[in-house]
């Protein structure tokens, strides 16, 4: 599936989230609640895929199947202390890594820059076979506006371990 088509569907889902779940964003609820609701809106645009939130399985991995993958990287370099990747939202087919389409990490506009940078590392790793066996075609970081920033979002796309595209916009409410 083409990145522009995927992006169109993600933006439609974001618009729906901001229109129907305005109170969640206004009240600055936990990121997991926002991710879950966004996942429910994304689901209708990808009928041949599974949409999962906080998914912690990688059925094709040799490692413990409860661990999605132990990443040994920080900004592209392997570390001795591995980290688990448990994505906010994924668009995939369960038990088939070759159908891992999009891994999504979400942060609220009030989140710390360091947590955004950690998500960037995850997305780079999950979209390259050098650092993980997940093999996602695309990684997407979404910075979503909360409180006084409601209606705004930023999308940052990753492919093959590198940032490829950025979109800043204002959702229609």
Calculate what percentage of the chain has a pLDDT beyond 90. Answer: 58
Tell me the per-residue pLDDT of 38-52, one tens digit each, with 9 for 90 and over: 999 999 999 999 999
Q: Give the model's pLDDT for residue 59.
A: 56
Residue 61, pLDDT > 60, answer: no
Domain residue spans in the chain?
A: 3-170
Question: What does the alpha-carbon distance between residue 77 and residue 52 come to, in Å, rounded to a whole number?
Answer: 28
pLDDT of residue 171: 46
Number of Cβ within a 10 Å radius of residue 32 = 12
Strand partners, 158: 139, 163
CA pair distance 106, 64, nearest whole angstrom: 26
Instruction: Quick: pLDDT tens for 98-111.
Output: 789 999 999 999 98
Mean pLDDT value across residues 73-91: 68
The pTM of the full predicted model, rounded to 2 decimals, is 0.86
Average pLDDT, integer, range 68-72: 44
Sequence-ordered list of residues with C-beta below 8 angstroms from that of 40, at least 6 positions apart, any chain: 51
């Amino acid at each position: 599936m083409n990145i522009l088509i995927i992006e169109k569907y993600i933006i439609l889902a974001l618009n729906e989230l901001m229109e129907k779940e305005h109170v969640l964003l206004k009240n600055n609820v936990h990121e997991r609640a926002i991710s879950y609701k966004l996942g429910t809106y994304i689901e209708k645009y990808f009928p041949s895929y599974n949409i999962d939130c906080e998914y912690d399985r990688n059925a094709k991995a040799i490692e413990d199947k409860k661990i999605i993958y132990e990443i040994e990287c920080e900004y592209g370099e392997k570390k001795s202390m591995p980290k688990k990747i448990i994505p906010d939202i994924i668009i995939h087919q369960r038990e088939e890594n070759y159908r891992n389409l999009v891994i999504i990490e979400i942060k609220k506009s009030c989140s710390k820059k360091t947590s955004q940078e950690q998500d960037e590392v995850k997305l780079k790793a999950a979209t390259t076979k050098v650092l993980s066996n997940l093999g996602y075609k695309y990684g997407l970081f979404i910075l979503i506006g909360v409180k006084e920033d409601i209606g705004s979002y930023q999308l940052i796309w990753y492919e093959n371990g590198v940032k490829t595209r950025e979109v800043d916009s204002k959702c229609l409410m």
